[in-house]
Amino acid sequence: MTDEIAECLKRAPLHPRIISAINQPMLYRCDLKIVSDANTFFIETILKHHGLTSYFSEINTNPSFVDEEGALRILPYQENFTTRPHGCSDLCAPNMCKGVATERIRTSGLIEGKKRFIYLGDGNGDFCPSLKLGEGDFIMPRKNYPIWS
């Protein structure tokens, strides 16, 4: 069953400019990290298929695994997600606050001496993390995909 899912993911189009954009930060010593409400199986399958796995130092997403019956199981990124411990009410999905992950990544980057944080988003789930950015940081929403409706 997961083989069928993986084959479907491999057929999903990835714009050539996305691939070249991922390649470019290596020239400028950027540290690429993923914050996504998808899951590890989906993300790792797509990255591996396109030869992009090595470009990312960290993937923040819902953990997943294949159980003994071959079924894909997806767990919530945050524990106790039913009570919305991250306090975002309706800004984020209950299982993952991208703002919490973004704030942690940004803070650790500042400690390491990184001066700028650039967040790329493509939907409503990206509004909360945009609120965690500071002076000199950037939000780059995908064209025609508003981060706030």
pLDDT digits 0-9 by tens, 40-52? 999 999 999 999 9
- Distance separating alpha carbons of residues 31 and 17, to the nearest angstrom: 19
Question: Residue 148: is its pLDDT beyond 90?
Answer: no
Question: Residue 27: is its pLDDT beyond 70?
Answer: no
Q: What is the pLDDT of residue 121?
A: 86
* Span 111-122, average pLDDT: 86
Is the model more confident about 144 or about 129? 129
Residues whose CB falls within 8 Å of the CB of residue 15, separated by 6 or more in sequence, listed in order: none
Residues whose CB falls within 8 Å of the CB of residue 51, separated by 6 or more in sequence, listed in order: none
Question: Residue 4: is its pLDDT beyond 90?
Answer: yes
Residues whose CB falls within 8 Å of the CB of residue 25, separated by 6 or more in sequence, listed in order: 32, 55
Q: What is the pLDDT of residue 142?
A: 82
Give the model confidence (pLDDT) of 68-108 as tens digits: 999 999 999 976 555 555 667 677 888 888 998 999 999 99
Write down the mean pLDDT value for the chain: 87
